[in-house]
Every structure is written in structure tokens, then in C-alpha cells.
Amino acid sequence: MAKLAVPPLFSLRHFLVLSLALNVSLILRTAYYESGEGSKGFCLKKKMMVDVDSDVIDKSRLAISSSTSSLVNSTRSAGRERVINLDHGDPTMYERFWREMGDKTTITIPGWQSLSYLSDVSNICWFLEPEFAREVVRLHKVVGNAVTEGRHIVVGTGSSQLILAALYALSSPDAAEPISVVSAAPYYSSYPSMADYQKSGLYKWAGDAETFDKEGPYIELVTSPNNPDGYRRQAMVNRSQGLLIHDLAYYWPQYTPISSPSDHDLTLFTVSKSTGHAGTRIGWALVKDEEVVKKMTKFIELNTIGVSRDSQFRASKVLKAVSDSCEQENSQDEESFFKYSYKIMAQRWKQLRAVVDAGDMFSLPQFSPAFCIFFGHETEPQPGFIWLKCEGDIEDCESFLRGHKIITRSGKHFGASPKYVRISMLDTDGTFLQLIDRLSAIQERE
């Protein structure tokens, strides 16, 4: 039998050809994954997140052969043709964690379950699922961010419904005129429309709490950490006839140091910002006054005849998984949900600040670290939104960034200057990387 010929060892030319082929393959894969292919690009995107000094900030600085540099530039230009919509705070950043959790948060709902409107007739909030209430109390105790003793829980279809229910409950139907609703600017952009959308005779938007000087009763919405700028807030008006609603959607360890349990008359939280399950549409209020609880419950009863029991079952499972991950972190050598989320937010803010500090076109809020009782050490605030200011001659930051295919929300919607925009930090890894790359490219060109 004839022997097979053994090929000689690779020559230098072979290696160069192979290297070129691998580089071209990598770049084509990068273009594919940046084109919006979703979770398929997870492995590559994760690798790209590793180091702030890596290709995240400037892919053109990759050490590649000159023969492929033109293809890199072509790929980068193609990526910039995609419109990045970061107007909303859609928390898709959390999808990777929950995928890795597997069946730990999977629920099965039999066809006969949840037929009744009623959840617990012994509770004032009769549509509140007892299991969900237990997991809410447990999570707040694990995190240490809210007092639950002496409080009633009111469940709502997200915190948006609860805000309207609270405005209804704190208003007086016998008042001669609608009660004024205020919040310190920059305030959450939906507050004015929420207060005025139905043109209620009970309450009416009255603007910035810092300039509010009308005598008489008022309702102040206190958002802390604040949406959009991320700063911790306290009530601004501080008059005897004032009624307060504390919106603490972002008072969780991945966004801000937990300094002490919140202890207010009416406090709002939401699953969407705490765990990322925005589509579940579940929020909750911790309320002291029983009469306020009754009126909030009545509003939700009239508005939607309660809250989805199925959504509450799912939210219960999710909150349980979060608490379990915190309590089992040391014993099972696994990261808790909040540590995992904190590390992602810290990395994103590090990358963002590096890009912004590399030029003089943009500026960001500056935060001071504080001791976090949940982590047991100092942490720095890292909000879920970027409150970005365009410096220099750029007066309309939203329009300027829209010209670079970045959709944001103008500061004018928050009672602030149009030189500011709000940008979501909670989108997918791929979208965030494109934002970083595009902001870097803008500063290079200008």
C-alpha cells in the first residue's frame, strides 16, 4: 500500500494567510452580533465588556493587520447606521441573569387556578396575594431598605397605577379646588401628565416643588434616588399641610448605597426596577394610614377590578429567588442578584465616565460614596439613567444626539434645560456598547 505523503510544516506565508482569515472572521461576527441579533451574541458581547481600556471605547485601536483595517472601519460605520433608542428605561440588562437561573423562577399555573377575582377577603387590599405580600416583606428585610412593620401592602399594576391611586387617596372630594401636586425639578417626566391626563377635579400638577409658593394643602412626590439625575432626595416644600408620596423605585443596592430603611407614611416600589421584570407589571406600596389604604384599594378596584393574580404569582417567585440568592450567597459560593447587578452597573459607569472624561463635549453628575448596609462597605451611586449634559454651544442635546442616531429624552420634559438628556443605562450589553462607541466617535470628530 502506498504511504500517504506528509505535508511539510506550515510556512510563514501559511500563518499570515490563516491570521488574516481569522481576523476577517472575527470582524464579520462582530458586525453580525451588533446588528441586533439579541441573545445569540451574548458570548462575544460578554468578552467585549471585560476592560474599560479595551475595544469598547475605540475598536479602531485594535491591533490588527493593515490588510483588514478598511473592513473594521466599514463594520464600525455600518453599526452607526442603527438607531439606538434609549428613551425608555426598559431593563433588558437583567435578562442574562434570569436566563442563568434556569427553572428556579419557572411557574406552572393550572387552568383552574385564579378564577376568582378575590385573593384574600380578610385583607383591606382584597386582591393582594398572601404569598406576594410575604415575599415583599422578606425582601425588604434582606435588603434593609424599608420598614414594613406597621405598614399595609397595596399591590398595583406597576408603580404608575399606585401613583394615581395615591393621588386619589390623598385628595379631598370636598375641597374647593384641586390639590396641588409638585415635585422638585428635574422630576420624573411622567408626573405632570399623570396628574393632568384625566383633568381630575381632585388634583392638579403645580410644577417644581422648589418654586411652589401657594398656600394650602399640597401633595409632594419625592423620588429618591431621583429619576432622572440619580441624586438622593428629601421633601422640599416642608409645610404643615403637605402630604408626601415617596417614590423609591430605585432604592436598591445596585443603584445606590442603602444607608437605612426608609420609614415614611406612603412609599412606592416596583418589580420592574428592582428585579428587571417590567413586563410583569407589578408594584407595591407600603402605607401607614388604614384610610389611605382603603381609598387606594377602591381606586384600583374601580380602575382595573384588582391586580392580576397570575402576575403576583410570578412576582412572588422572582422575589423569592432574589432573597434566596442573597441568603445563600456565602454558603453556596454564588453571587446574589444584587451583587451581580451592582458589578454590571459599576462596569458600565466606569466605561461611560472614561468616554465622557476623554473629551469636553459632555458632562455627568458627580456622586459621593456612602456606606451601604447591604454590602457592608462603601459604594458609589450608579443610577439606572444617565443625566447627560451637552456642553458648549449645543443648546438642544436631544436633537444633537438624534442626529447621531441616539434617541434620548430631553431635559425639558423633566422641568430642566434642553441642554440635558436622560439616557437609559439598563439596555442590553450590545446596545450599551454601541452607545459607548458612538459617544466616543462623536467626541473624536467634533
Strands (DSSP E) along 318-405, which ranges? 362-363, 370-372, 377-379, 385-390
Strand order in the sheet with 283-287: 152-156, 283-287, 266-270, 242-247, 218-223, 179-183, 203-208
User: Would you put residue 241 in left (φ > 0), alpha (ψ -120 to 50) or beta?
Assistant: alpha
What is the structure's pLDDT at 81? 78
What is the structure's pLDDT at 332? 65
d(CA 194, CA 167): 10
What is the structure's pLDDT at 329? 84
| Burial class, 429, CB count within 10 angstroms (exposed 0-12 / middle 13-18 / buried 19+) | buried
Residue type (1 letter), 44: L
d(CA 171, CA 332): 50
Q: Which domains does the chain have, with CATH numbers?
A: 84-99+336-445 (3.90.1150.10), 116-327 (3.40.640.10)
Strand partners, 267: 246, 286
The two beta strands, 283-287 and 385-390, are unpaired
Q: What 8-state DSSP symbol labels residue 307?
A: -
In contact, 409 and 24? CB cutoff 8 Å: no
In contact, 391 and 362? CB cutoff 8 Å: yes
d(CA 385, CA 248): 15
What is the structure's pLDDT at 445? 83
In contact, 65 and 26? CB cutoff 8 Å: no
What is the structure's pLDDT at 19? 52
Q: What 8-state DSSP symbol labels residue 10?
A: P
What is the structure's pLDDT at 4? 42
What is the structure's pLDDT at 79? 61
What is the structure's pLDDT at 45? 37
d(CA 117, CA 127): 7
Cα angle: 144, vertex 90, 283; to 5 degrees: 45
Which residue is associated with the grid cell 412606592? Answer: 268
pLDDT < 50 positions in the chain: 1-18, 24-72, 74-75
Q: Compute φ and ψ for 362, nearest 5 degrees.
A: -130, 160
Read off the pTM.
0.83
